[in-house]
Amino acid sequence: MPVEIRVPMLPESVADATMLHWHAKIGDPVRRDDNLVDIETEKVVLEVPAPRDGVIIKILHAEGETVLANDVIALFEEAAEHGTTHDTGSPVADPSNGKQPANDTASPPPSQAKQTTATTAAERTAPIGPAARHQAAVENIDLDQISGSGRGGRILKEDLSAPQQVDTDSKTPTGPRESRREPMSRLRRTIASRLVQAQHNAAILTTFNEVDLHEVKALRARYRETFEKIHGVRLGFMSFFVKACVEALKRFPILNAAVDGDDIIYHDFYDIGIAVSSPRGLVVPVLRDADQRGLADIESKIVEFGQQAQDGTLRLEDLTGGTFTITNGGVFGSMLSTPILNPPQSAILGMHKIQERPMALDGAVVIRPMMYLALSYDHRIIDGSDAVSFLIAIKAALEDPARLLLEV
């Protein structure tokens, strides 16, 4: 008796989803819990596992189609029931283009399926993230020839990027000069929509300051090895910025608030969004109750977020409900930028590259590790004096880290 493979339940805020990539074709043998298909929502990619050992006998929704929660997307048959051959008596959809093949065209036998360039989850032993799997299938990349650079040998999207062939005589790139059109991913469309929404619905203003990170760097250098030995995680800069922001938000709660019509919603908790880059675009997982976390706990969670973003395993609940956001363009070399609000939040802090610069200190010129800070805020509810004072509070905490311990 065929088993119906259905779309997982979607959160209330997600109306529908898109069929992203089938990892198993009709007739391919798969094992229990192997990923059959990736389904893309506005923020995360969902994996649909095989309910048991067996084969897909019919695919009802092809890649690129829109589906709803609990929609039947395929029919699956257990290995013991399936045997070696199966005749469904009706045409079966091809997941790559959604077209119906002729009735007299049989599904490829398992021996041929194993020769395809995009291997199934049952054939691979090395782990691979959904974004990398999708790109490998689109570009016909043989995953058996790829060495993963991620944790545990996990294959990441950047591992699939092959160097461009160059003519050694002319030193010019070879190959055709072509343009191609690709639809935006659902995540990219959501990012675009939210950024335009932020520009249209808020009175965004940005104010700047700079911070001397000499004391933070000295503290990290003094305790780096001990901290990592005890806590098993590297002591970075982000945890200091999170703690500094939390203390500043306590003093200026309007920056932790949101606009709702003609009302202001004040939050008495501190859920800090940490913007991280993923193969599918920028995502902002939320660090819950940041005020109750120590430096080691913050650093561990940020590392976990970064790995999940690369692997495409962030959950929708990880990406919703933040009250304030921190974004770090400095990891890409940015010296200065004006970050855009993350609706419905009213403020976002932009970190930038640490640059050694000559500074006047106590009448002498010294070289200091300086960083520009940028605070974008909704001027409808946040006055310039609050925004500037907020930045100065962050600056004071980072230039004298003992303030974070003493909460002064």
Please give the single-letter amino acid code of residue 189.
R
Site of tokens 């999170």: 242
Backbone Cα Rg of the chain? 26
CA dist 184 and 191 (Å) reads: 10
Q: Are 246 and 288 in contact (CB under 8 A)?
A: no
Q: Which whole-number Å values give the CA distances from 255 to 4, 90, 333, 339, in the listed order?
A: 49, 60, 27, 15
**How many whole angstroms from its chain centre is CA 382?**
29
Token pair for residue 377?
């805020």
Q: Which residues partner with 208 through β-bridges?
A: 374
CA dist 55 and 68 (Å) reads: 23
Which residue, 43, 53, 48, 58, is CA-closest to 21?
48
CA dist 143 and 128 (Å) reads: 9
- Side-chain-side CA neighbours of 22 within 13 Å: the count stands at 24
Residues with a catalytic annotation lie at 379, 383
Q: Are 30 and 53 in contact (CB under 8 A)?
A: yes
Full DSSP string of 26-69: TT-EE-TT-EEEEEE-SS-EEEEE-SSSEEEEEE-S-TT-EE-T
Reduced to 3 states (helix: H, G, I; strand: E, B; else coil), residue 373 is strand
Q: Which whole-number Å values give the CA distances from 104 to 71, 100, 111, 221, 309, in the listed order?
A: 28, 11, 20, 70, 44
Q: Are 132 and 278 in contact (CB under 8 A)?
A: no
Reduced DSSP (H G I as helix, E B as strand, rest coil) percent helix, strand, coil of the chain, to 5:
30, 25, 45
Residue 108 backbone dihedrals phi, psi, to 5 degrees = -65, 140
| Cα-based angle 196, 284, 384 (whole degrees, multiple of 5) | 60
CA dist 203 and 218 (Å) reads: 39
Please give the DSSP secondary-structure letter assigned to residue 345.
B
